[in-house]
Structure 1
């Protein structure tokens, strides 16, 4: 969230404290003495709780294991449930199990068998690999005779080919006997005295060796002759061993209610230490105590108050779970194959941690001043300083201790090299000496950033200008910088000492010599409003804000390139955080979590990955010296301990969890035709990314293309007959990651009317009916044939005549009856193509003299009469081998062939075209024409021929009209 909503257009949901304690140095020293070295409560682990709303109808979870396909199998006081990626589903009578019977534990044997142990029953399933989903398993009850009493809190351990089970005063061993499973006393199989295996409280298998822990505090190894029990130091009461684990070096670890026992390989002696914060909560629940190794080699066990103790590098750290605080005991600890820790919470359900060992979370419940984290800085050689809405906390990250809390609400904070911190407040900027508790206040208000320089300089950027402080001089207050009197929202100092500033939407550069320049006044995106600026190197800046992110490359004060990353890449339209880490990765934060750019692709990190909140606070990212990241959110401070682990992709594992046809389960078998709806449910076994995952699906024969959904189910009104596949693919838009396509077979019989015998009979029937209809119609057609032939012949002749008329009409000029321009040109081209040396060919252009005067003086109808008469005369006087056409307006083209000279022949024709206008028009005006004629040359084109005739016509008009000119 932004610090100043009036600048970003977004309302702040958290207000600064109205009354901020301002104390004199003496009072401040007293306060800091009181608040110094406050122990930090256990760090918080983010979890997702699965309870009744997730299908876990009984929330008293006793144990959990992960099946080979990836599903989580939980044991409860009312039976067994498995998690399919979407919800928990019960195992019961459909799988051959008793309904609602109290469960005790479940285990997978080395043969791949799944054994479910109830309070007084044992069931085995053998076909895990072929079943696909646990709901398709079939369990068989093991005949226990009178060996198994009623006990809901048994310890079990897979060993050799079977399973070891604790009984009240002995151990039982379930193992295959060739025809099924049988149960025997373990003492009988190992040829041991029964007394040796009394009161066994913990089990651990190491190859062929079985370690047992007893109620009186002994550890012994079975499977070898004779049993071996290493010497242990004295244990505090109660000495009952409740859990045993082993590392890859062979060191054995065990725990009692209060103590932790380490048994290295001989001859190193065993040691005992107190487990921190393990007092009396589990006195009545010792059977729940367990230990589990994380993928990173950390040992996790329970402590009081519903917390965890984590042993790493010989040091214990306490972790608490988020959500509702409760003293309910933790009953099981399971790390899945993705590294997430599943925790049974009695009465609450099964919780899955988010980002275990990748993220740590701190907040008010952990000892910080508040949950709304505004800025985080690292004091040189010292603790983290964290500003919140209700105070400033100093956190020693090595000991998880809050060293002190200053009750000043603040947004901005910085540390100098002289042991002082600087922070803002409602009355200005305060400077604290952390050693002497000396304090000085400066009335500089509307601060937007406190920016340390490269040496002893410290910049204060505000809405009223920029101030510069010399941190080595306590007697000298910050001075306003000449020439920097604008409103500066943020700044950054690069390695060359250049101060880059954002003034409104302008980007400014102030160099070490005091010179400054406006580097950029406008942005390519008109609506972009810059908020933050960071530099990757001396020539590259990154600017984040409302609208997206820009990468700016510059040469001094000149911008050489700008590249824009919009909401599609960054995950949100408005970015409040920006960080370039030492590996040149770009981190941006918004109200939708973190987005990371490694130079090739963007990756999104959200609450699903362990982030305290998706709502990040403005400019609250810090990279620590060890490469980890501190992230301020509106619900606490997140510590990204392992950024690489958070960015690492995990294979997406979509699963089709169930299909139903109508109201009946469907498993891909061929079914009779029906119109019942097909309902398919699916999910993913990639539990970390499940909240972000979408699905693409397609049913062959029903869908033309891929469909998309964020839900885990789809319903088809009916299933198409035939054999088809339901195809499913998962994809994570936050990581641009796709899974492989999985499929399920669906097969439905065709309806009886679509089966081949029915179709064959129907085909024969329609063929016979068609033949009879054909015979009847043939007779009618024969009778009609002759009549139709007569009609067709008559109509054909009519059409032919009409066609010829249309051809003539298309070729003739409607006014003169001569060929139109296109037709006479075509005729001339044909004559030129067929021209021979024996038969001369000529073209003449004839133009009516003074035709405009006729139109103007006598009217257009008189002009039309002249053209009509010319057409009539030419049609009458032309020889059969000659042709004429209207070339345009009052101009005519005449094509002449024959032995008579072309000029003489044209003069003869022109004499016929000289006549007086109608006698009833007493002007005495005559119609005369001018003509130009040209004889065709060998190989000449029609354009050239007409061009020469046109020039001759022009000469005839120029020489007085009423004459014929021959072209040279």
Structure 2
């Protein structure tokens, strides 16, 4: 009998060469205090921040490519073992450790362990060495190694000459002061200088013991090639833990073993992972049992070579040849799909029947979760449910007798009695009974008095007064309802007061005090279609619909059966943005759960969390009303591709600790200290800052807010991990950076990077002194010259008159130049850009190409109408700035009129202008435009939450995504108009305008070329 396979499917994200991990054979994993993941491979060391992998090698001092061990000490020091040596990372370079002047090679599978604050233990060539720092002759600290055991100790215990692994349980830990070693085919212990060997007489069979672990309960675990052993506190003998040891005959070099944050023991197995699942401390649960996790659970890796639990509690799996795998939502999310027995992956409903079994409604009929016993949960077709097989079971409920009721989208209303009274223990329930063929059934719902309500499409509400009786009868309410009889009713709930509420396509229905009413909501349209409804414990209602995506309302204080509901001011539609709310739930904690077409939202009245397929959900497209809270407080979510069980909702609001770091600064290809403090000469070349914020959850919501103190007072916002400043004036600066993850509502502490730019030579004191001396010399010479003769004086006067004339001419030229620029955008105005075009066309008659672009900001009138003319002006100024920054120095950009821009690209024809046009087009659309304090005309209840499409509101301000349409005409020697084949200016503008019109007509945000030339 093999190990039981865990029935759940989990969310895994694999990283391979396409993600920047060039070598896929993982040898070691570690995480440092900054949050970086360090990945050792057979060909290089990589650092991963959640978005990109950075390789470290000879340039950083790491000479050998095969990384055999990686270790991060509690103080944050990184040690790396390779097959050619041991290295210590100081944040910039790796320094080699020497043994008698020679490198210290670390073989595959051998370990590093911290002995104390100043000493590291390392297994090198099967010998235990201790590493310590000593003063180097040239200054600083050199790290050297020496043997840990003496020759006498090795002679007494020969197994000490063949050490494979080391683990230290230091002072302060339970059982402290121990060093455990895999030595030879046994285990060795060093306690307070005393040596002890653990062999077959102590329950340790002959094996290569490559890993030792002491868990939080004090139990010692040992991992060999074929077995896992455990030594309970106070015991003198190890016990075997795996029901069936590994039967693999090939040699395993890496033997990973760890304990996760929920006390589970995790190691490798023949088919992937082995996990000893334990109940969470302080919580009831089944007895510990081993689970085998592999292909059936979605794990892509079978040859497990490294394991790591990161700071957020997620599990990382390194494999021999398949790269790195992240188990997303490791502690909180479990999924079921067709691979785990679902008859159909589209799941619509859940309910526990009278016997406590979880029943699941799918597109293919009714399924049941098999739980309990020694095996993991599994899903099977529900016994006795053949009557609804291949029907979409859209809703389930249970009456007071424990009878399970269900409705299908094909209109079948059915029930099934649970196994119980009058039946043997363990007996299956009798066949399901269909009692009605109705229109499409949205929901079946049992109220507090025991009545069954059936909500249908286009036929209103049906009721069964005695659903637990021997012959239940279905009665249509029809004209008794104050809504049109052909209305659809899709969702219902019962308030704590006993009042029943129904969501319909004609608005809300209320049944209380023995009568029906149709209340309206203050501020909402008279008729608003609602799809889902949830009754909160405080008597308020949560509504999800189409015209109003999310609403939170309540009856006025003291009102009894009133016809008006008032909005509650703690939430607006900004909570969901453009998502469609498909299910609503208030759990026992008072949290509001929203299942949408784009994942799950959880609101705890103060913070919002967004969860999707990227964080563990089986699929983003949730199904309507497929959201329940189980008896134990866990959550079940149905989607169009399976179901998700949220096993630890209490962990969802844990905020990851974000730390921002500048990983590099460069100018002109020269690397600068990443922490700043440098001084640079003035230069026009850009100064580039490379940033990162290590995070492995919801990286799509990560943004940076930055400003250069000493130059800027306003904040800039970007999602890119690179900041550039060009031609900075001389001065002292501090780059201030704050990182934030909007999806997790987590913010990193701000960091400051100081630096100084020296003035150019013509602004130095020496230059000014030379200028002053030159002025004095010239003054003396002029004085002597003026006093020499009258003729010289007249010539001087004439010179002054000429100089003044030149100044006046320069002033007139300056005024002429000012008249050629647009006052708002500082671009060439219409007259000037047309003059430049005429000049370029004249040049084209001598040969060569010219590309003319007529650009227009999309929906600019809508921007002015919605956000105000100051916002429109801000958009024009920013678009002008981006266009000017994106063109070449000899190109020209002018404001042609309103939101239209004319761009001249000399020397570019149809075949080679595409890259430039793509850069111009992307410069406008890729990054939202910050509007500063310009109001956007809408409330924003939650800092950093989503807004209307195109508008982004968060703690950094307001920004707007703007797109642009281009009409392009390319003029060249082959053009068929005008002298020498060049069309006249009017024809050029006309053709570009026609192309622009076509771009607008085809949907905007595109580039269209003129035809016919």
* TM-score, structure 2 as length reference: 0.66
Which of 665, 688, 696 lines up with 2:697 in the alignment? Answer: 688
Whether the 8 Å CA contact 1:414–1:423 is kept in 2: the answer is no
Q: Which moved more, 1:63-72 or 1:574-583?
A: 63-72
In the superposition, relative to structure 1, how do residues 271 and 488 fare at CA in structure 2: closer, same or farther (>3 Å)? same
Q: Which moved more, 1:402-411 or 1:54-63?
A: 402-411
In the superposition, relative to structure 1, how do residues 48 and 709 fare at CA in structure 2: closer, same or farther (>3 Å)? farther
In structure 2, distance between residues paired with 1:211 and 1:427: 67
Which structure 2 residues correspond to residues 606-645 of structure 1 after superposition, within 5 A? 606-645=612-651
| Deviation per residue, 1:479-518 (Å, 9 max, x gap) | 32352454212211234433211231321112373x2111
Which of 450, 471, 481 lines up with 2:467 in the alignment? Answer: 471
| Deviation per residue, 1:318-367 (Å, 9 max, x gap) | 44589975453121111222222222122232223322212222222233
2:520 aligns with 520
1:562 aligns with 567
In the superposition, relative to structure 1, how do residues 583 and 678 fare at CA in structure 2: closer, same or farther (>3 Å)? same
Larger Cα-atom Rg: 1
1:344 aligns with 318
Which of 181, 190, 195 lines up with 1:212 in the alignment? Answer: 181
1:154 aligns with 110
Whether the 8 Å CA contact 2:416–2:432 is kept in 1: the answer is yes
Which structure 2 residues correspond to residues 82-121 of structure 1 after superposition, within 5 A? 82-98=47-63, 101-109=65-73, 113-121=77-85
Task: Please state how far the C-alpha of 1:468 moved relative to its aligned partner.
Answer: 2.0
2:759 aligns with 750
Task: Please state how far the C-alpha of 1:462 moved relative to its aligned partner.
Answer: 0.4
Which SS does the other structure have where 2:343 is aligned? coil
In structure 1, distance between residues paired with 2:782 and 2:365: 98
Whether the 8 Å CA contact 2:14–2:326 is kept in 1: the answer is yes
Which structure 2 residues correspond to residues 3-18 of structure 1 after superposition, within 5 A? none
1:507 aligns with 508
In the superposition, relative to structure 1, how do residues 438 and 48 fare at CA in structure 2: closer, same or farther (>3 Å)? closer
1:453 aligns with 447
In structure 1, distance between residues paired with 2:216 and 2:303: 29
Which of 431, 436, 439 lines up with 1:438 in the alignment? Answer: 431
Q: 1:137 aligned to 2:132?
A: no
| Deviation per residue, 1:669-711 (Å, 9 max, x gap) | 3233322222222121233343321111223455552221222
In structure 1, distance between residues paired with 2:453 and 2:775: 95
Which SS does the other structure have where 1:387 is aligned? strand
Whether the 8 Å CA contact 1:528–1:548 is kept in 2: the answer is no
Whether the 8 Å CA contact 2:203–2:239 is kept in 1: the answer is no
1:679 aligns with 688
In the superposition, relative to structure 1, how do residues 738 and 114 fare at CA in structure 2: closer, same or farther (>3 Å)? closer
Q: 1:489 aligned to 2:473?
A: no
In the superposition, relative to structure 1, how do residues 724 and 220 fare at CA in structure 2: closer, same or farther (>3 Å)? same
Task: Please state how far the C-alpha of 1:263 moved relative to its aligned partner.
Answer: 0.6
2:408 aligns with 424
Whether the 8 Å CA contact 1:43–1:318 is kept in 2: the answer is no
2:31 aligns with 66
In structure 2, distance between residues paired with 1:76 and 1:315: 32
Q: 1:203 aligned to 2:166?
A: yes
In structure 2, distance between residues paired with 1:477 and 1:233: 74
1:918 aligns with none
In structure 2, distance between residues paired with 1:538 and 1:600: 17
In the superposition, relative to structure 1, how do residues 762 and 512 fare at CA in structure 2: closer, same or farther (>3 Å)? same
1:721 aligns with 730
Task: Please state how far the C-alpha of 1:728 moved relative to its aligned partner.
Answer: 1.2
In structure 1, distance between residues paired with 2:739 and 2:297: 30
1:224 aligns with 192
Whether the 8 Å CA contact 1:215–1:240 is kept in 2: the answer is yes
In structure 2, distance between residues paired with 1:757 and 1:204: 65
Q: 1:410 aligned to 2:393?
A: yes
In structure 2, distance between residues paired with 1:119 and 1:683: 30
Q: 1:76 aligned to 2:76?
A: no
Which structure 2 residues correspond to residues 388-407 of structure 1 after superposition, within 5 A? 388-398=362-372, 400-402=376-378, 404-406=380-382, 407=389
Task: Please state how far the C-alpha of 1:178 moved relative to its aligned partner.
Answer: 4.9
1:734 aligns with 743
Listed as ranges, the gaps of 5+ residues in structure 1 are 1-38, 785-968
1:549 aligns with 550
In the superposition, relative to structure 1, how do residues 146 and 413 fare at CA in structure 2: closer, same or farther (>3 Å)? same
In structure 2, distance between residues paired with 1:773 and 1:508: 99
Which SS does the other structure have where 2:18 is aligned? helix
Which SS does the other structure have where 2:550 is aligned? strand
Q: 1:165 aligned to 2:129?
A: no
Task: Please state how far the C-alpha of 1:739 moved relative to its aligned partner.
Answer: 2.8
Q: 1:355 aligned to 2:329?
A: yes
In structure 2, distance between residues paired with 1:449 and 1:777: 106
Which of 287, 298, 306 lines up with 1:332 in the alignment? Answer: 306
In structure 1, distance between residues paired with 2:297 and 2:241: 31
In the superposition, relative to structure 1, how do residues 528 and 190 fare at CA in structure 2: closer, same or farther (>3 Å)? farther
In structure 2, distance between residues paired with 1:310 and 1:490: 42
Task: Please state how far the C-alpha of 1:154 moved relative to its aligned partner.
Answer: 2.4
In structure 2, distance between residues paired with 1:186 and 1:308: 34
In the superposition, relative to structure 1, how do residues 383 and 533 fare at CA in structure 2: closer, same or farther (>3 Å)? same
1:186 aligns with 148
Whether the 8 Å CA contact 2:494–2:500 is kept in 1: the answer is yes
In the superposition, relative to structure 1, how do residues 400 and 288 fare at CA in structure 2: closer, same or farther (>3 Å)? same
In the superposition, relative to structure 1, how do residues 743 and 285 fare at CA in structure 2: closer, same or farther (>3 Å)? farther
Which of 203, 223, 237 lines up with 1:255 in the alignment? Answer: 223
| Deviation per residue, 1:254-290 (Å, 9 max, x gap) | 23345332212224653322257x6446x43533222
1:907 aligns with none
In the superposition, relative to structure 1, how do residues 497 and 112 fare at CA in structure 2: closer, same or farther (>3 Å)? closer
Whether the 8 Å CA contact 2:82–2:105 is kept in 1: the answer is no
| Deviation per residue, 1:366-418 (Å, 9 max, x gap) | 33233332222233442222223334321145553235215433322233333
In structure 2, distance between residues paired with 1:506 and 1:385: 31
Which structure 2 residues correspond to residues 788-937 of structure 1 after superposition, within 5 A? none
Which SS does the other structure have where 1:670 is aligned? strand
Whether the 8 Å CA contact 2:462–2:476 is kept in 1: the answer is yes
In structure 2, distance between residues paired with 1:690 and 1:481: 51
Q: 1:292 aligned to 2:258?
A: yes
2:11 aligns with 46
Q: 1:383 aligned to 2:389?
A: no
In the superposition, relative to structure 1, how do residues 740 and 453 fare at CA in structure 2: closer, same or farther (>3 Å)? same
In structure 1, distance between residues paired with 2:656 and 2:145: 41
Q: Which moved more, 1:674-683 or 1:317-326?
A: 317-326
| Deviation per residue, 1:170-205 (Å, 9 max, x gap) | 433333455433333333278332612244344221
In structure 2, distance between residues paired with 1:540 and 1:583: 16
Whether the 8 Å CA contact 2:582–2:596 is kept in 1: the answer is yes
Whether the 8 Å CA contact 1:95–1:139 is kept in 2: the answer is no
Which SS does the other structure have where 2:312 is aligned? coil
In structure 2, distance between residues paired with 1:697 and 1:479: 65
Task: Please state how far the C-alpha of 1:657 moved relative to its aligned partner.
Answer: 1.9
Which SS does the other structure have where 2:770 is aligned? helix
